[in-house]
Every structure is written in C-alpha cells, then in structure tokens.
Structure 1
Amino acid sequence: MRVAWLLVVVLLAGCVSARPGAVPATDAALRAALTRHVSILASDEFGGRMPGTEGETKTLRYLLQEWRGAGLVSGTNDPANPWFAPVELTSSKPERSTVRFLRNGRSIALPADGAVVFASGRRGLVERAPVLFVGEQGEKLDNAALAGRVVLMLWDHPGQAEQREALLRGGAAAVLAIVGEASDFDELVETRRRGSYRLAATDGSDTLDGYLSRETAEALIGADRFQTLLRDARGPDFKPVAIDLTATLDAASTAGTVKTFNVVGRLPGRRPEAGAVLLMAHWDHFGRCGSPTDPAAICNGAVDNASGLAVITELARRLANGPRLQRDVYFLATTAEEWGLLGAQAFAENPPVPLETIVAAFNLDTIAVAPKGTPVAIVGKGMTGLDAGIMEVLQQLGRREADENLAQGYLRRQDGWALLQRDVPTVSVTSAFGSAAALERYNAERYHRPADKADGIELGGAIEDLFLTQALVRYFADPARWTATTGKSVEAP
C-alpha cells in the first residue's frame, strides 16, 4: 500500500490547534455529542477507516483535534512521535489457492468452494503430506507428532486462534480449520481474501493455513466417522488421529507492508508515580468490504467501533474538566484490531509506561448496541484483581450485572485480550453484552457489514456505560480507594 500520506499525519501533530472543550451538561447534549462523533467517523468520507489509507489520515486528524481540544496531552512519551505511535505491519494478499486430497493415490472429489488455503509468504507448497486430526488440541502436542503433517483442527471453540498458532509453531506443514457453520466459513474466507497482516517486528516464518467447510470434512473423512471424531475430540482422553489421506496444498500471495499508527493521549494526574489507568478503543474498520450485490460498498463501522471512539472522546472531555485525578489516565486508540488485535499487541510490546504500572485498563468496543436500562456484563470477569472494585462501583450507581457467559465468549476477540496475556488487568464493563437479544440483532443486521452506518444506532446503553466508565476511572485512579499496583490475570478458560 502507498504510505506517503503518513508523513502528513506527523505534521498534523504540530499544526492542529487546541480549543476549549465544553462538557455536555444534559443527556440530550451528550447524545448529540456522541451522535456527532459517530456520524463523522462513520461517514463515507472516512472510507471505512482502513489502516494505511486516507481514511486513517482523516481518523487520526479528527481524534487529535478532539483529544487536544478536550484537554489531553500526548501520551506516547516519545518526543520523536508525539500522539502517534508507529505500527509497522506486513501484509499478504492471496493470489491463488489449490487444495487436493488423495486416498490410496486417488484424488477425492470435494464440494465446490469448500476448501481454501492461504500462504503468509509469497508461496506455500506442501506435496502429499500425511493428514492428522487434532480436534481442539494444540499447545501441548509433541512437535514430532506435528512435523511435516497437514493438521485438521476444529474452529468452533474459544481458543481457535491460539490453537492454530501453536500448531504452526509446533512444526505442522499446514493447518486447516474445520468450520461448522456455512455462514461462518464464508465470512472467514472472505475476510482472509482481503489480506492478512502481522506485526513486522515479530514477523515469523512463512506459514500455510486455511479452512474446510463441514461438508468438505465429511466428504474427506466420512459423515459417520467425522461425527465420532467430533464426539471423541471433546473427551478428556482424546489423542490425535491419523487420517488415511495425503494432502497437496499450494497457495501464493503478494507480500507488502503497511505503516499505521496507534493514537495515545494522556490526562496528567497529581501522582503519576502511583501508576496509571488506561482507556482504549480501536479506531480501525475494514474500508470497502462490499457485498455480492454491491462489491464496492463501504463498511463504515458505526457501532464497531466509532461508538467506542465517541465515548472515549467524551470521557476525555468530562474527566479533563472535572476534579484533577491522582493517577495519570492514558487514552489509547488502537489500529488493526480487525486484523488480529495488532495495534494492541504493538502497544503492549512497546508501551509508553511500564505495563506493570497500569493498575486498571478498560476497553470500549461496539458499545452502541443495547438500550437504556440494560444490565452490564464484565468481559474478563474473574481474570483480574479488579472485580471487587468494579462491583463496588456498580452497586454505587445502581447498575445490575448480567449473566457473564455471553460476555466471556468475546474475551479473545477484543483488544483487552492482548493486554491480559501480558498480565495487564483489563476488562470491558458494558451493556453491549448484557442483552443477548440486542447483541444477536446487531450481529445479524450490522456486524462487519455495509449496514453498520450511523443512522439510528442505539445510544441509550452507551450513554449509561459512559457514566459507568467515568465512575470506574475515578475509582481506580484514586490510590486511597484502589491501592493495588496491578491486577493479575489468569489463564483464559
């Protein structure tokens, strides 16, 4: 991708003037402010906010203007890169894919478009490799059992991404994930065909991976045997099973680089030595993602995640214009969340303050979903030391807690996971996961679709979540109320 435009972004840091940030005094005024932010960030002019495009330039310029106007200062703590922390990515755009399975030397007919493979480098090739079914296993498998094999894994479980990475690191020649639902298979394949991305600083060896539809897996293994494998794979004594197949996989890609940025602001506290609180929301979306009927359509990302940016921006204004806090509060707008939490990973690998000094972090993502009065759920409940403080604030505000099971299904799919893996106490406390009906409606109608526009989005729960997050920040930014220096995460379930 062309990156010359990025030079303009750096210049903007010195030429955007701060302006006084009036704090909306009523719910109606606050609703109007949030609507304005979402309408601008999710407008066609911003082109879907894809990293490495002019839409990124406009997004960063807007956030800088608003955050400086609200009273924040640069939080990068890097004089060479004020406000904007560079994130360099490597990209891989698929060109072709060939998948062939053989049994006893004879090719097996596969359902049309039911198998696809992607190369992270320019080309990946595996010829007549043995096939191994591992179910949901990955990290604990012996490398010798994986080396040189095409590994079939199950996709439909919470640890799917980590399992795939573990299998590739363990020496598998390729990893093919079996996806149960046809709609999920189509969405995964379409997303990968737009390109995949990795952090350039941690770019590993080239890999080969892809997806099989359930129909394809049944054609390869046999419907009855596949059902048996599914049942056995979820048992405690399951061991990988060799399948009487060999696989030939060939994929080619065009490699490139993308230079993009996280935005980092800071609200200075009276006692920065006492640690910091972090607020985060990803700014990116998919750009032009289209649909079969309109391939050039823009995915504007109004709910995901212009709504989170709107709330974090108004939180900056309210906190900066209120009583000065004791601890510093950092504001982070991450890039490339939609490409695998890459901006959050980059922040964690090169933070502006030591990670162990962050006493609490709150992620705001896709929060314009539920109506006013919806209970809140805690994404990450039980994984940090923050729960007691959160519950105290909920009680003070009279907010009800929802069933956490729905929220936990999204734990690994949001930026907070990148920080939790590094023991930063990070949660999302939001009504977005407090109503299964509201979330299901959003997923069915808007999620990652051109329909996610600013028109008519639900801000009732978002406004209540703003006040809740404000109270949480004030609580955890006060050493007299919260004395822990860090929250300790545990291994995800």
Structure 2
Amino acid sequence: MRVAWLLGVLLLAGCTGTRPPAATLSTDSLLRAAISRHIDVLASDDFEGRKPGTEGEAKTLRYLAREWQAAGLESGTNDPAHPWFAPVELVSSTPERSAVRFTRAGRTALLPRDEVVAFASGTRGLVEDAPVVFVGEQGERLDSAALAGRVVLMMWDHAGQTEQREALLRGGAAAVLAIVGDRAELDNLVEVRRRGSYRLAEADGADTLDGFVTRSAAAALIGRDRFEALVRDAREADFRPVALDLRSTIEAVSVAGMVRTFNLIARLPGKRPAAGAVLVLAHWDHFGHCSPDTGSPGICNGAVDNASGLAVLTEVARRLASGPRLERDVYFVATTGEEWGLLGAQAIAENPPIPLDTIVAAFNLDTVAVAPAGTPVAIVGRGLTPLDPGILEVLRLTGRRESEERLAQEYLRRQDGWALLQRDVPAVSVTSAFGSAEALDRYIAQRYHQPTDEPGGIELGGAVEDLLLTEALVRYFSDPAKWAATAGKSAAPL
C-alpha cells in the first residue's frame, strides 16, 4: 500500500538532519541557500514534474515528510489510519478525439480548420442537434431553463472564466464552448487539456462536455458584425443570453481512470490548541511530462510553481519549530491537484484535519520566487476576510509596503486559498509575487507552465523576504494576545 511505503521513510528522518550553518553567513545568505536546496531537489528531472499519481509524487512526499519531521513537526491528519498522508481520490480524464459540427437551417456551417475542440470528462460525451445560445460572461445567475439542453458559447477573456464555465455546466448546459482570442491561445489551452484533467471522486459524478473555439471561428459562425455587436452588448449590465440560429452536434471521447493521491499534513503543537489554529499551505503538484518535443526531456518541473512555495513553507516550519513554543497550533499542508482545479484544497475543505471554524488564519504560498527584494507586498484576498488589520500591522512592524491591489485580485480564484474562502475560512496569500506587474509578466512569458520553469536563474530576493514575512504573520496570528478569536471568527488585533 502506498501510504505504508511513504510512511516507511519517516523512520529514517533522524538521519537527515541539516548541517549547522557557518556563523559568518548572513540570514539572507542562509535562507537563499536553503530555498535553493529545496528547489533543486523538488524541481529536478528525477521528480518528473510532480504529477499526481506518479513516482514523482511519491518522491515529493517522501522528501517533504523527511524534511518536516526532521524540523520537529508531527503528523497533522488527526487520523490514526492515515498519519501524515491524507488520501485524495481523483477521477482522471485524458482526451482522445473530438468532433464539433454546426448547422444553420439544416446546412453545415463551415469553420476555419482546427479552430474548435471539445473534451469529455467521462469516457464519451455526445450532444446531437442542440440549439446554441450566447451568454457572454454570464453564468452563476442564469436560470437553468435558459441553459438546459443547449450548447452555450461564453467569452473566455475575463476573470472568473473557469467559475463561469463550471456554473454553466452545473446549470444544465449540454456543452460549453469558450471563445478564446486566437489559434495560439487555443493551442496552448488544448496542450494543457491533453495532459489530462482530474476531478474529486467524491464530487458530483455527472459527466460534462466542454471545449474552446477561436474568436475568428465564432465570428464566421455568427456573422462578423453580429458577433462583434454581441460581444459589445455582453458588457452591459442588462445583457441577456441570445439564442442563435445555429444548432450543434458535439462528440468527444476520453480515456477515464482513477488516481489515488495525497495531501501531506503536519502540525506544530502549540501551548493552547483550544485557542484555534493557523494554517500554512502550498501545493506540491505540477504537470509532469508536458512537452510534445521529443528532442528534450519535456518535463514541466515547476521550479517557481510551486517548488519555491514548498521551499518557503518548509523553512518557515523549521524556523518556527526551532524557536519558543507558540500559543496556537500551526498546521502545514502540502496540497495535491492544485493545477487541476484546487482539488487538494477542496478535499481539505471537505474533510479538514480540524474543524474549519477553528482556523484563525490561513496563508497560502504559491509561486513566491518571482520578484526581487524590496518589491511591495500584495494581499490576495484583501477585503474578503477579517485578517486585513492584523496583516497591515505585521507589514508595518516588518517594514514591508503594500502594492496596488488590482493585480493580486486577478489571481484570487486561481490559488488554493480560494477553496478555503468558499467555506468561510479566512485565507489569504501575502506575497511579493503579485506585487510587481513587470516581474510577474516576465515570469509568465518565460516560465509559467513551461519546461523552462527549471531551478536555474530563479529570483530569490522576494522569496527570502516573503519567508520572513510569513514567519512573522504566523507568529502574530498564533498569539491570542495579539489576535483574538471567538467561536472560530477572527477578531480585530488587540
């Protein structure tokens, strides 16, 4: 059994102690070296991109468990049957082929070649001769009567695109096709989907059918002038879905399977566990073998995303465990399946190691090695939790500056904290990674979800500062004398 196999390595943890640092080295140099060491291991080709359900996952969890136990943490699952490793059952789906056809008045509507594609979450999805409706950016508030049995065209170029698609499918749409900017964007999205997708096995098991179509293909279908008018109208507050004079037949075939993966959960016991707990999390997963280029290893190693977050989390745990005992418990979680839809974080929200209303504060570490030292700090989730006054106080005490908010909020729903926020857990990400648009744009263009996200040449200045800031945040919120909590609800700083 894989759990037993993973647990076996913990017996060796005592042999993996860290060599004491030279006294002449600065704190900054020591932390840079520690972060680099973790990234070099976790983002090496030997870990094969840390895809769930692979040997790369087993190596990742073995490494983290050894490091965390050596630092002084203990199992935090609170489940004797599954110490350290909390199982997460996933349903996998790998696309095989698809065909999409549109008709108008019984005649086939011609499309540019290879500019529309569909995917089935189950083994086969089929919609025959269904009416087509354009909804723009709407989703959650639409009546199911407007969606049921229809192929829905939605816009993809806006925040909340994934949530919109999920809402449309939950609302009864027979299929959802998202309109993307151009062929290059379509190819990138298709490449991601060809790596396979996952969903929680415990979630609603209804199979879905979705896909993408380019803007030029949508314009050819609808008529360019009418399409541009629909896109303009969709931005208005009073826009309503528009039935089109089109019908569609869509078929997609996938190879389905089951994957057993794990969240890693550890605890640093505090003096007063009844006073609530602080949670620190970072996702361990990435995409594995991801490049069709047979002339290279083709591995998405995820050095920045998210070996850097794991490195910072591990060193925060080590520093906290080596100091005076904190008042509140602190839980450290390495989540699975973030890249596939925040699945590990959803599993934590569904089956938490402690009651969710006892979590005083949660801090997510994701893609931290992006910005240089001195970059202002973004608060992803600002204004959505009671934590803001305490966070701002810690920023003041540590001499950090807050960045402009807009950039951070664009990523609110794309990180593990969002799954916890949905359950009213006060979860934020406080990081320099989203504090500089220039640094973030450079990372996205050069590394994001690409085989180029390798250990070499990573900017660690902001990561070191974020490590010290995260430590300060945990110390602050773990102290009831500084941050009170009543019935699991965070209060203002004292």
Shared fold (TM-score greater than 0.5)? yes
Conserved in 2, the CA contact under 8 Å of 1:281 and 1:312? yes
User: Are 1:142 and 2:139 an aligned pair?
Assistant: no
Which residue in the other structure is 1:239 paired with?
240
User: Are 1:11 and 2:8 an aligned pair?
Assistant: yes
- 1:51 deviates by 0.7
User: Are 1:77 and 2:78 an aligned pair?
Assistant: yes
Gaps of 5+ in 1: none
Question: Take 1:472 and 1:5, find their aligned partners in 2: how far apart are those partners?
Answer: 35
Which residue in the other structure is 2:411 paired with?
410
Which residue in the other structure is 2:287 paired with?
286
User: Are 1:400 and 2:401 an aligned pair?
Assistant: yes
Q: Deviations over 1:436-481 (max 9, x none)?
A: 0000000000000010000010000000001111110000000010
Conserved in 1, the CA contact under 8 Å of 2:378 and 2:402? yes
**How do residues 146-161 of structure 1 correspond to structure 2 at under 5 angstroms?**
146-161=147-162
TM-score where L is the length of structure 1: 0.96
Q: Deviations over 1:106-156 (max 9, x none)?
A: 111111221111111111111111000111111211111211110111112
- 1:5 deviates by 5.3
Conserved in 1, the CA contact under 8 Å of 2:484 and 2:490? no
- 1:182 deviates by 3.9
Distance 1:487 1:403, change over 3 A: farther
Question: Take 1:114 and 1:191, find their aligned partners in 2: how far apart are those partners?
Answer: 16
Conserved in 1, the CA contact under 8 Å of 2:149 and 2:174? yes
1:483 aligned counterpart, secondary structure: strand
User: Are 1:336 and 2:333 an aligned pair?
Assistant: no
- 1:183 deviates by 3.5
User: Are 1:356 and 2:357 an aligned pair?
Assistant: yes
| Amino acid aligned to 1:226 | F
| Amino acid aligned to 2:171 | G
**How do residues 126-137 of structure 1 correspond to structure 2 at under 5 angstroms?**
126-137=127-138
Distance 1:434 1:356, change over 3 A: same
**How do residues 436-451 of structure 1 correspond to structure 2 at under 5 angstroms?**
436-451=437-452
- 1:47 deviates by 0.6
**How do residues 77-116 of structure 1 correspond to structure 2 at under 5 angstroms?**
77-116=78-117
Distance 1:154 1:383, change over 3 A: same
Q: Deviations over 1:358-377 (max 9, x none)?
A: 00000000000000111110
Distance 1:254 1:428, change over 3 A: same
Question: Take 2:184 and 2:310, find their aligned partners in 1: how far apart are those partners?
Answer: 29
Question: Take 1:7 and 1:476, find their aligned partners in 2: how far apart are those partners?
Answer: 35
2:339 aligned counterpart, secondary structure: coil
Which residue in the other structure is 2:37 paired with?
36
Question: Take 2:478 and 2:104, find their aligned partners in 1: how far apart are those partners?
Answer: 63
Conserved in 2, the CA contact under 8 Å of 1:90 and 1:203? no
Tell me how large the CA RMSD over aligned residues is.
1.7
2:14 aligned counterpart, secondary structure: coil
Conserved in 2, the CA contact under 8 Å of 1:87 and 1:343? yes
- 1:26 deviates by 2.2
Conserved in 2, the CA contact under 8 Å of 1:22 and 1:317? no
| Amino acid aligned to 1:339 | W
Which residue in the other structure is 1:345 paired with?
346
Q: Which moved more, 1:172-181 or 1:51-60?
A: 172-181
Question: Take 2:145 and 2:391, find their aligned partners in 1: how far apart are those partners?
Answer: 46
| Amino acid aligned to 1:391 | L
| Amino acid aligned to 1:11 | G
Which residue in the other structure is 1:275 paired with?
276
- 1:20 deviates by 4.7
2:291 aligned counterpart, secondary structure: coil
Conserved in 2, the CA contact under 8 Å of 1:360 and 1:487? no
| Amino acid aligned to 1:110 | L
| Amino acid aligned to 1:178 | I
- 1:6 deviates by 5.7
Conserved in 1, the CA contact under 8 Å of 2:381 and 2:412? yes
Distance 1:432 1:347, change over 3 A: same
1:39 aligned counterpart, secondary structure: helix
Question: Take 2:222 and 2:403, find their aligned partners in 1: how far apart are those partners?
Answer: 42
Q: Which moved more, 1:446-455 or 1:204-213?
A: 204-213
Q: Which moved more, 1:295-304 or 1:425-434?
A: 295-304
- 1:186 deviates by 2.0
Q: Deviations over 1:28-54 (max 9, x none)?
A: 121111111000100011111111111
Conserved in 2, the CA contact under 8 Å of 1:386 and 1:487? no
Q: Which moved more, 1:193-202 or 1:459-468?
A: 193-202
Which residue in the other structure is 1:223 paired with?
224
TM-score where L is the length of structure 2: 0.95
- 1:12 deviates by 3.1
Conserved in 2, the CA contact under 8 Å of 1:85 and 1:263? yes
1:247 aligned counterpart, secondary structure: strand
Which residue in the other structure is 2:191 paired with?
190
- 1:184 deviates by 3.0
Distance 1:315 1:136, change over 3 A: same
Conserved in 1, the CA contact under 8 Å of 2:13 and 2:67? no
Question: Take 1:118 and 1:124, find their aligned partners in 2: how far apart are those partners?
Answer: 8
- 1:17 deviates by 3.4
Conserved in 2, the CA contact under 8 Å of 1:6 and 1:57? no
Distance 1:351 1:64, change over 3 A: same
